[in-house]
């Protein structure tokens, strides 16, 4: 897949991913198509983000005899930020090894203050320090939600954290890079700016509402 990488940020510029994103941006795209295209784009981004998994060599028996294969690391965590991150989690789970754990992080952005408010978190007390965590949220706007979710895993001593989003505002990327400089980011586009309500411009509107038809 063709990507451009700069300071831990990978923008997936594959034309098929960009075409899916275009359908998501279009305000006339109906909910059922939005969800379908969101799942496909999620899969693209998940494949690209998970390129950094370290696979171990392992043998495999084919119908014609022994061959070379790989096994993926044991401790991979998918952490969707509710609600909109669920679409990315669904796609990621399809392509992940069955041992991948899913930990949901419930955050709601206060529309006045733009601060992320936690309403659900059921993380374990401990995670192996070599865990690989993918924090999933389609929208990186001010970055408040992403940083709050990432911080939960930093507090558990996880070092290898990767944020996967559809769209980012430059302000959100800067916030994540300043607060959590080791975190890698995979996205389909860096948009122009935030508007006065903290929405990404041009963006795609409210991701949760468009995915769930609310």
Pick the stretch among 3-11, 53-61, 67-75, 195-203 that binds ligand URA (CB under 6 A): 195-203
Q: Does 141 bind ligand URA (CB under 6 A)?
A: yes
Strands 76-82 vs 184-187: parallel, antiparallel or unpaired: unpaired
| 163: helix, strand or coil | strand
Distance CA 179, CA 147 (A): 7
Q: Does 83 bind ligand PRP (CB under 6 A)?
A: yes
Please, which residue, 53 or 104, has the CB nearer to ligand PRP? 104
Sign of the dihedral through C-alpha 107, 162, 46, 96 = negative
**Binder of residue 144, out of ligand URA, ligand PRP, none (CB less than 5 to 8 A by kind):** ligand PRP
Of 137, 125, 141, residue with least CA distance to 161: 137
Out of 11, 161, 207, 211, which residue is the one contacting ligand URA (CB under 6 A)?
207
Pick the stretch among 8-16, 92-100, 153-161, 197-205 that binds ligand URA (CB under 6 A): 197-205
CB-based contacts of 28, cutoff 8 Å, min separation 6: none
Please, which residue, 146 or 164, has the CB nearer to ligand PRP? 146
Out of 143, 173, 191, 204, which residue is the one contacting ligand PRP (CB under 6 A)?
143
Backbone phi and psi for residue 98, each to the nearest 5 degrees, phi listed first: -65, -15
Out of 38, 136, 139, 146, which residue is the one contacting ligand URA (CB under 6 A)?
139
Which residues are bridge partners to 68 per DSSP?
59
Of 97, 98, 83, 2, residue with least CA distance to 50: 97
Please, which residue, 63 or 181, has the CB nearer to ligand PRP? 181
Give the footprint of ligand PRP on this chain (CB under 6 A): 81-84, 107-109, 114, 116, 137-146, 172, 198, 207-208
């Amino acid at each position: 897949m063709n990507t451009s990488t700069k300071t831990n940020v990978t923008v997936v510029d594959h034309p098929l991913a960009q075409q899916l994103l275009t359908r998501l941006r279009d305000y006339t795209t109906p909910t059922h198509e939005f969800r379908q295209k969101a799942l496909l784009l999620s899969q693209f981004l998940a494949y690209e983000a998970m390129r950094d998994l370290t696979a171990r060599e392992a043998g495999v028996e084919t119908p014609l005899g022994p061959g070379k294969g790989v096994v993926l690391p044991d401790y991979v965590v998918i952490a969707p930020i509710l609600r909109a991150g669920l679409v990315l989690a669904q796609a990621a789970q399809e392509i992940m090894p069955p041992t991948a754990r899913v930990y949901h992080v419930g955050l709601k952005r206060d529309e006045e203050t733009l601060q992320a408010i936690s309403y659900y978190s059921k993380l374990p007390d401990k995670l192996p320090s070599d865990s690989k965590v993918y924090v999933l949220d389609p929208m990186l706007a001010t970055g408040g939600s992403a940083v709050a979710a990432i911080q939960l895993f930093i507090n558990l001593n996880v070092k290898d954290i990767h944020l996967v989003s559809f769209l980012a505002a430059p302000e959100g990327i800067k916030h994540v890079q300043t607060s959590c400089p080791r975190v890698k980011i995979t996205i389909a586009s860096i948009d122009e700016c935030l508007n006065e309500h903290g929405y990404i411009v041009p963006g795609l509107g409210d991701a949760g509402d468009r995915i769930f038809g609310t």
